Amino acid sequence: MSNDQKRAHDVFTAGISNGEYGLAPEDVVVMERGEGPRLWDTSGREFLDFSMAWGSCLVGHARPEVVEAVSRQAPLGSNFAYLNTQVLALGEEIRRISPASERLRFCASGTEATMYCQRVARGFTGRNKVLKFEGAYHGANEAGVTSLFPHKLLDFPKPELTSAGTPAMADLLLVAPYNDLETTRQIIDANAGELAAVIMEPLQRCTPPHNGFLEGVRELCTANGILLIYDEVVTGFRLAYGGAQEYYGVIPDLVAYGKALGGGYPIGAFGGRVDVMEMVNEHRIGGDDYVWMASTLGGNPISTAAANATLSVFRTPGTYDHLHNLGDYLRQGMRRVLSDRGLTGQIIGDGPLAQVVFSGEPAFNYRSTNKGDKALARKTMLGLFRRGVFLNPMGTKLYLSIAHDEYIINEFLNRFDDSLGEAV
Ligand SMILES: Cc1ncc(COP(=O)(O)O)c(C=O)c1O
């Protein structure tokens, strides 16, 4: 092991500071800097970044406009835990483009944003249960990590814990199959009086919604007084400037943001209808109609300055055509590599997102995706990592950024081909 690897393993569990990756000890590297779509480790080795900080650096690493905005704000104070000029401008811009966000509040991560949405929904409706779709990640909160990677595949709507240490969720969480409106309808019909909310990623991980699925879920929620929560931590500002709401044209009651909004700086935000968001109005404190919400770092002027600069970069004409063209180019290229090698697989995703599933059958929700050859997927991703492609080999989801181009994707495709050659 190198000195860096030894130091990392001495201080961090599995040698990693923030979780996931699941690298062998000898594969751990320490990153030193990033620029555009590239990262460099302490040995000077260059990586093509196909993770982009799990999608939070959609604007690219060290984008000059973002660096400048943060540098301008830093000497003026980094946090007041209070309303400031940067968060005010950002809140106005989000409200302008997010129909669901009549009122907003800021926090510091996607995990908090989705947690608050669920709490507000429970408070508003006076009901206890939330329905999620199997395999969806909504952050590290309880609902987010239940039925995340289930292996027992219990009958719907029974939840399965993915993380030890989370309380049994049977009384709080129902689980439905994504893209299966009929089963979802049956679960909602049977539990309508107890359901506060349905929480969903409109594009679940890389799985696009079937025609009519989002509209159907919206109708079921409206008909039963259930709040619809869109977790737009990934889709927000990525599929379109107005996120999944704009892209699919279906409007939820509450929406959670994070990741790309902050341009790589810690951020979370949630918004909703005026009457729903009144639940966090502190003038109600002490009453049964008050939902606790507070965040020390929420809306801090550094993160929100970065976000304002990031959003002005995203507003540059052509941004979303570029992101969609790059995504198409990557997905088509990956399909070509598979077919040239005679391998069966699905390349799923939309916009600047792509994922390989080594399965002959269409992958449209957790159970169908789960049929894929996971050992081959893991080998391929680890092989890419060893070939200088930075990604999270715990899964197969790839993130592009506005800094990517066809040249870097071609380079990725060569390494994908090499890695497959070794893995099969
Ligand atoms: C869809 C979704 N929601 C929520 C989160 C949680 O965001 P954070 O890691 O900022 O807490 C993530 C993170 O990967 C995510 O992918």
Instruction: Tell me the per-residue pLDDT of 125-143, one tens digit each, with 9 for 90 and over.
Output: 999 999 999 999 999 999 9
Instruction: Give the list of residues 6+ apart from residue 175 with CB closer than 8 angstroms, or none.
Output: 131, 132, 133, 134, 146, 147, 156, 157, 158, 159, 160
Instruction: Tell me the per-residue pLDDT of 297-309, one tens digit each, with 9 for 90 and over.
Output: 999 999 999 999 9
> Distance between CA 181 and CA 191 in Å, rounded?
15
> Distance between CA 404 and CA 323 in Å, rounded?
9
312 SS3 class: helix
* 135 in Cβ contact with 371 (< 8 Å): no
Does the Cβ of 266 fall within 6 Å of ligand 1? no
Percentage, residues of the chain above pLDDT 90: 99
Verify whether residue 231 is a known catalytic residue.
yes
The residues pairing with 296 across neighbouring beta strands, listed in sequence order, are: none
Tokens of 237: 């500002």
pLDDT given for residue 170 in this prediction: 87
Does the Cβ of 111 fall within 6 Å of ligand 1? yes
In 205-263, the DSSP E strands lie at 227-231, 254-257
Verify whether residue 6 is a known catalytic residue.
no
Instruction: Tell me the per-residue pLDDT of 320-371, one tens digit each, with 9 for 90 and over.
Output: 999 999 999 999 999 999 999 999 999 999 999 999 999 999 999 999 999 9
> Distance between CA 250 and CA 212 in Å, rounded?
10
Instruction: Tell me the per-residue pLDDT of 155-191, one tens digit each, with 9 for 90 and over.
Output: 999 999 999 999 889 899 999 999 999 999 999 999 9
What is the length of the chain?
A: 424
pLDDT given for residue 90 in this prediction: 98
* 353 in Cβ contact with 400 (< 8 Å): yes
pLDDT given for residue 212 in this prediction: 98
Distance 287 CA to ligand 1 centre (A): 31
Confidence band of 29 (pLDDT split at 50, 70, 90): very high
For the chain, the average pLDDT equals 97
pLDDT at residue 274 greater than cutoff 90 = yes
pLDDT given for residue 301 in this prediction: 98
* 256 in Cβ contact with 244 (< 8 Å): no
Distance 395 CA to ligand 1 centre (A): 14
Instruction: Tell me the per-residue pLDDT of 198-248, one tens digit each, with 9 for 90 and over.
Output: 999 999 999 999 999 999 999 999 999 999 999 999 999 999 999 999 999
Does the Cβ of 198 fall within 6 Å of ligand 1? no
* Average pLDDT rounded to a whole number, residues 71-99: 98
Q: At what angle do helices 213-224 and 181-191 cross, to 10 degrees?
A: 10
Does the Cβ of 109 fall within 6 Å of ligand 1? yes
Distance 118 CA to ligand 1 centre (A): 14
For residue 49, give the DSSP letter.
Answer: E
Catalytic residue chosen out of the listed positions 129, 132, 259, 397: 259
Instruction: Tell me the per-residue pLDDT of 48-77, one tens digit each, with 9 for 90 and over.
Output: 999 999 999 999 999 999 999 999 999 999
Instruction: Give the list of residues 6+ apart from residue 64 with CB closer than 8 angstroms, or none.
Output: none
Which domains are seen in the chain, by residue range?
A: 3-63+319-423 (3.90.1150.10), 77-314 (3.40.640.10)
pLDDT given for residue 168 in this prediction: 87
Confidence band of 312 (pLDDT split at 50, 70, 90): very high
Distance 42 CA to ligand 1 centre (A): 28
How far is the CA of 274 from the CAs of 99, 242, 253, in angstroms?
11, 19, 10
Question: E strand or H helix at 115, and its extent?
Answer: helix 110-125
Among 401, 376, 375, smallest CA distance to 390 is for 401
Cα dihedral angle (51, 52, 53, 55), rounded to 10 degrees? -90
Sheet harboring 129-133: ordered strands across? Answer: 103-107, 268-272, 254-257, 227-231, 195-200, 129-133, 173-176
Percentage, residues of the chain above pLDDT 70: 100
Catalytic residue chosen out of the listed positions 231, 329, 366, 399: 231
pLDDT at residue 315 greater than cutoff 90 = yes
Does the Cβ of 114 fall within 6 Å of ligand 1? yes
Verify whether residue 340 is a known catalytic residue.
no
- pTM for the whole structure: 0.98
Distance 76 CA to ligand 1 centre (A): 30
pLDDT at residue 385 greater than cutoff 90 = yes
> Distance between CA 39 and CA 31 in Å, rounded?
7
> Distance between CA 226 and CA 197 in Å, rounded?
5
pLDDT given for residue 86 in this prediction: 98
* 383 in Cβ contact with 342 (< 8 Å): no
pLDDT given for residue 230 in this prediction: 98
Does the Cβ of 265 fall within 6 Å of ligand 1? no
